[in-house]
Amino acid sequence: MQQRKSPRVLIYSHDTFGLGHLRRCSAIAHALCESNEDLSVLILSGSPIIGSFDFRSRVDFVRIPGVIKLHNGEYTSLTLPMAVDDTIAMRASIIQHTAEFFDPDIFIVDKEPLGLRGELAATLDVLKKRGAHIVLGLRDVLDEPRLLAPEWKRKNAVPALETYYDEIWVYGLPQVCEPLAEIDLPDSLRRKMIYTGYLRRFEGSKPVGQPAFTKTDKPYILVTPGGGGDGETLVDWVLRAYETDHDLPYASMIVLGPFMQSERRSEFITRADALDKVDAITFEAHMESLAAHAVGIIAMGGYNTFCEILSFDKKALIVPRTAPRLEQYIRTSRAEDLGLVSMLCDDGIRAAETMATAIRHLPQQQSPSDIVVPGLLDGLDNVNILTRRMLERRPKTTRPEIASARKQA
């Protein structure tokens, strides 16, 4: 029987669109490897831009074919001229074969208990029989209960959790949000839920100091609509504020996001070029560095941006989307109630003067650190503790059939 040399963690992120799932999984992967010198992490992702991110030693990824969700709720292949069912079948096969060969000790699944359209079912079955620890990782908010409950029922989420999962990690705190509070879960699953706290972010290895592409060496406000696919309203509102009020106290740096429509992206860059105090770029892989050096943040309120606001103690103005999900609004309203951020709701009119006034008030806000919430940013520390606890229970040897399969490969 062959000795097992080093522990392995496999992370699944379906990533149909946007950057949220991928950035959350990357933060977890890097934290695990930094705290466990012999551990390796492999990320399974459908993100078309996963190769644009820097992955550190012992973290790697497998890119599976991408799919995208249409406005009518249906899925279609992102780039391949294939029926979506065929694309899902291909993804499922790649996922299963990767998992079988990588043979992880721990399998962390992001958000979807059975994966996109059930593509994880066979993989979960294989890894469960092999004795891998299987974890569902959830952000602090999924959606409003009236929509989440029927969605989980349709996806058979609860039976999957009962059959395959050892623990459910919620990357947040119950005093901020409880993602499954209104879901009819058996007590056995409630006992599997662990609130870790939010995932602290770090500036990373990018050189510090004022970013080279800004027009001014003065302090700036970072404006970020996340991946940008649904951030056009926010960007337009901020630009109109600067176009209307030329005496706003701070410059703004707008990161449009790689998924914004090319026509709108070009329009926004042209408008920013005409303003002395506004810079606009498409994408920045080191958003943590930009957030760390900003005097404030204007954003839509996605999970990762919220973590950056807390981690770098930034005064923030959040303009949450309310469709197709209320996730951002729920998170932001709870955070505002606690005094962590300020919220500006989209009234449909979006007067330039309203945004300009909010930008002027931003420096007068309190900082998140002025509010004491115990354990608020302990997420990565607790994920490491939970991971080490699982690894301590792993078999000390490689199963003979797996070792044999590797030799044949």
What is the rounded distance in angstroms from the CA atom of residue 387 to the CA atom of residue 28? 11
Q: Which of 104-108, 243-247, 315-319, 400-404 has the lowest mean pLDDT?
A: 400-404
What is the token pair recorded at 25? Answer: 């999984």
Residue 28 is assigned to a structural domain of this protein = yes
More confident of the two residues 204 and 390: 390
Residue 126 is assigned to a structural domain of this protein = yes
What local confidence, expressed as pLDDT, does residue 404 receive? Answer: 47
Residue 270 has pLDDT above 90, yes or no: yes
Sign of the CA dihedral with 403 first, then 405, 407, and 409 last: negative
Residue 384 has pLDDT above 90, yes or no: yes
Give the pLDDT mean for 10-30: 85
Residue 124 has pLDDT above 80, yes or no: yes
What local confidence, expressed as pLDDT, does residue 397 receive? Answer: 56
- My answer on whether 247 and 135 are in the same domain is no
What local confidence, expressed as pLDDT, does residue 129 receive? Answer: 97
DSSP string, 282-306: S--TTHHHHHHH-SEEEE---HHHH
- My answer on whether 224 and 334 are in the same domain is yes
pLDDT band at residue 80 under the 50/70/90 scheme? confident
**Residues 116 and 88 sit within 8 Å (Cβ to Cβ):** yes
Q: What is the four-CA torsion angle of 22, 26, 32, 35, rounded to 10 degrees?
A: -160
**Residues 279 and 300 sit within 8 Å (Cβ to Cβ):** no
What is the percent of the chain with per-residue pLDDT over 90, rounded to a whole number?
72
Instruction: Look at the block and give the residue holding tokens 């602290």.
Output: 200
Report the amino acid identity of residue 6. S
Residue 246 is assigned to a structural domain of this protein = yes
What local confidence, expressed as pLDDT, does residue 387 receive? Answer: 98
- My answer on whether 64 and 26 are in the same domain is yes
Phi, psi at residue 405, to the nearest 5°? -65, -35
pTM value is: 0.91
Residue 89 is assigned to a structural domain of this protein = yes
Instruction: Look at the block and give the residue holding tokens 């994408």.
Output: 283
What is the rounded distance in angstroms from the CA atom of residue 280 to the CA atom of residue 261? 15
Taking only the tens place, the pLDDT of each residue in 303-319 is 999 999 999 999 999 99
Residue 212 is assigned to a structural domain of this protein = no
Report the amino acid identity of residue 211. P
Residue 10 has pLDDT above 70, yes or no: yes
The whole-angstrom distance between residue 15's C-alpha and the CA centroid of its chain comes to: 9
Residue 216 has pLDDT above 60, yes or no: no
What local confidence, expressed as pLDDT, does residue 78 receive? Answer: 79
- My answer on whether 48 and 195 are in the same domain is yes
Residue 272 has pLDDT above 80, yes or no: yes
What is the rounded distance in angstroms from the CA atom of residue 78 to the CA atom of residue 87? 9
Give the pLDDT mean for 373-385: 97
More confident of the two residues 348 and 209: 348
Residue 395 has pLDDT above 90, yes or no: no
What is the rounded distance in angstroms from the CA atom of residue 297 to the CA atom of residue 105? 39
Residue 402 has pLDDT above 70, yes or no: no
**Residues 135 and 168 sit within 8 Å (Cβ to Cβ):** yes
What local confidence, expressed as pLDDT, does residue 223 receive? Answer: 97
What local confidence, expressed as pLDDT, does residue 399 receive? Answer: 53
Residue 286 has pLDDT above 90, yes or no: no
What local confidence, expressed as pLDDT, does residue 72 receive? Answer: 62
Q: Which range marks the domain in which residue 280 is found?
A: 220-370
Instruction: Look at the block and give the residue holding tokens 């039976």.
Output: 159
**Residues 310 and 377 sit within 8 Å (Cβ to Cβ):** yes
Phi, psi at residue 244, to the nearest 5°? -90, -40
What local confidence, expressed as pLDDT, does residue 81 receive? Answer: 84
**Residues 311 and 201 sit within 8 Å (Cβ to Cβ):** yes
Q: What is the overall mean pLDDT for the chain?
A: 89
What is the token pair recorded at 196? Answer: 């870790």
What is the rounded distance in angstroms from the CA atom of residue 282 to the CA atom of residue 5? 42
Residue 182 has pLDDT above 80, yes or no: yes
Other beta carbons less than 10 A from residue 313's beta carbon? 11
- My answer on whether 246 and 163 are in the same domain is no
What local confidence, expressed as pLDDT, does residue 209 receive? Answer: 46
What local confidence, expressed as pLDDT, does residue 259 receive? Answer: 84
> How many separate domains does the chain show?
2
More confident of the two residues 352 and 321: 352
Residue 392 is assigned to a structural domain of this protein = yes
Taking only the tens place, the pLDDT of each residue in 132-144 is 999 999 999 998 8
What is the rounded distance in angstroms from the CA atom of residue 86 to the CA atom of residue 365? 51
- My answer on whether 315 and 389 are in the same domain is no
What is the token pair recorded at 2? Answer: 């062959």
Largest CA distance in the chain: 73
CATH code (residue 231):
3.40.50.2000
